[in-house]
Structure 1
């Protein structure tokens, strides 16, 4: 059995030597004694550990040239022949483009027609092409928030049913919450929601003086978990309360407060309405910062409890623009705030009455006296002393 195999191997060696002589290769021993037309190589270490066979192209013994594989033009390689469909080189559904163009044209036509019959500008139309602004839902969203105001407001005279509490104690509690809120650097919405939770809870439950701070810290704890992306831990709230309460007491109070207010946390925040009105004011940062300070006055002063959040936001922006000598309360501001100058007079007078009195709530004044808030409280105090008190 070995003899035929050896003979066959000798024939391959002879054929290999003859081919090497034709190609001008002198060192015949460098050619591996393997099957003709097959060369082996090692793959890269990180790819494969096996040998890979690469077949050499066939050799034309007559011309000694390597013949190249011939690919016919009509071979179908799985791709469409673009040359055979010259009319459909960039084919797409034109009906979609036509529909979109017609919708945009119809929207622009209605917009121009509507602006001729109204005295205010459609500022939401500028954001029509920005899907992040959802301008097509803006009107419905703020209409819903406006309707929700009456459902999430506390009783304005709830202190009459509290035997151990007073409005002064409530003001001290809210001023302390403003300090805690500022140190935690929480969102403005968190503070407004926390005070709303506290007032709604006190409207239906009688609380002793010893438990008042627990209600306050629990309200801020609930609001932070609802509004913040990263809310402070319960241990941070215990520390701010000077370790006066345990973790179990706060969690138990949290469940009791949420059950009492029926888990209604969708509060139409004044900040939402301020942002809406600021759009008509070209987002004036100075007027908006002063308005924030004036809005937080409504938190510490119980006289603002009967007023809806939308009116407080509009009156704060109205008074701040007056302090900064801005233009009149024009049609855009009336439309987007939903209040005229006459409707804001009551709330404006309440803010002025508070500002004319000596500073009662130090933490609120100190917060807005910082450079971060453009020293808004100092500016307002100077304006009051120069204008209102001089007129009296």
Structure 2
């Protein structure tokens, strides 16, 4: 499952004509703020970024539609993960009404169709909780301290386009290793 439903490594260089790694990073950074604004789960953010990367692996997207793709992926991910997800109109509002409701809904449908409605895929956050349990077992380290640091590092990994080269479990294990190194 981990190897399935993955973005294509090198999609920005090989598929995208108008999007750069820097633009992707800016979008993800903004989506972190959106997730904080709506108090979304970390899983929602990770899933949304996964959808963005998978979609960009198969479709050329114009610069002007990148933010639309981002909020639409966040909408899909929030419907998948959240108990009470924000409404599509909320995502229009967060873009300062740059996009109309019908554009967000149309993009949502395009995302779902393009990804064959395969929306449940493992991401870094999927593995973190299990790994944190192992990492804090028989340790003096506070589990809460470890969770906060790991979630922060996992969020940072979303910003780095090069991290898509690695399986989510590998990135999660690296996050645990780095967190333990920092805490010691």
Q: Answer yes or no: same fold by TM over 0.5.
A: yes
Q: Which runs of 5+ in 1 are unaligned?
A: 1-147, 326-392
Q: Which runs of 5+ in 2 are unaligned?
A: none
* Alpha-carbon distance in structure 2 between the residues aligned to 1:186 and 1:322: 29
Q: Indicate the residue corresponding to 1:308 in structure 2.
A: 167
CA RMSD, Structure 1 to Structure 2 (Å): 1.1
Show the 5 A alignment for 1:278-293.
278-280=132-134, 281-282=136-137, 284-293=143-152
Q: Tell me whether 1:255 sits opposite 2:109 in the alignment.
A: yes
Q: Indicate the residue corresponding to 1:376 in structure 2.
A: none
* Alpha-carbon distance in structure 1 between the residues aligned to 2:12 and 2:123: 23
Conservation of the 8 A alpha-carbon contact between 1:190 and 1:228: yes
SS in 2 for 1:262: coil
Conservation of the 8 A alpha-carbon contact between 1:278 and 1:288: yes
User: What TM-score do you get using the length of structure 2 for normalisation?
Assistant: 0.93
Per-residue deviation at 1:272? Answer: 2.4
Conservation of the 8 A alpha-carbon contact between 2:50 and 2:123: no
1:187 maps to which of 41, 49, 65 = 41
Conservation of the 8 A alpha-carbon contact between 2:124 and 2:169: yes
Q: Indicate the residue corresponding to 1:149 in structure 2.
A: 2
Q: Indicate the residue corresponding to 1:239 in structure 2.
A: 93
Per-residue deviation at 1:313? Answer: 1.0
Q: Tell me whether 1:159 sits opposite 2:27 in the alignment.
A: no
| Deviation string, structure 1 residues 107-158 (Cα, Å, up to 9, x no partner) | xxxxxxxxxxxxxxxxxxxxxxxxxxxxxxxxxxxxxxxxx11002101200
1:217 maps to which of 71, 85, 108 = 71
Q: Indicate the residue corresponding to 2:177 in structure 1.
A: 318
Conservation of the 8 A alpha-carbon contact between 1:156 and 1:306: yes
Per-residue deviation at 1:269? Answer: 2.7
* Alpha-carbon distance in structure 1 between the residues aligned to 2:119 and 2:60: 21
SS in 1 for 2:118: coil
Structure with max Cα Rg: 1
Q: Which has the higher contact order (CA 8 A, sep 6+)?
A: 2
Q: Indicate the residue corresponding to 1:271 in structure 2.
A: 125
Conservation of the 8 A alpha-carbon contact between 1:149 and 1:268: yes
* Alpha-carbon distance in structure 1 between the residues aligned to 2:181 and 2:19: 37
* Alpha-carbon distance in structure 1 between the residues aligned to 2:126 and 2:105: 29
| Deviation string, structure 1 residues 312-371 (Cα, Å, up to 9, x no partner) | 11111111111111xxxxxxxxxxxxxxxxxxxxxxxxxxxxxxxxxxxxxxxxxxxxxx
| Deviation string, structure 1 residues 57-104 (Cα, Å, up to 9, x no partner) | xxxxxxxxxxxxxxxxxxxxxxxxxxxxxxxxxxxxxxxxxxxxxxxx
Conservation of the 8 A alpha-carbon contact between 1:194 and 1:220: yes
Conservation of the 8 A alpha-carbon contact between 1:171 and 1:300: yes
Give every structure 1 segment of 4 or more consecutive aligned residues whose post-TM-superposition deviation is greater than 3 Å.
none
| Deviation string, structure 1 residues 363-389 (Cα, Å, up to 9, x no partner) | xxxxxxxxxxxxxxxxxxxxxxxxxxx
| Deviation string, structure 1 residues 273-321 (Cα, Å, up to 9, x no partner) | 1111122223711122111111111111111011111111111111111
* Alpha-carbon distance in structure 1 between the residues aligned to 2:44 and 2:164: 18
SS in 2 for 1:151: coil
Conservation of the 8 A alpha-carbon contact between 1:175 and 1:300: yes
SS in 1 for 2:3: helix
Paired positions, count? 178
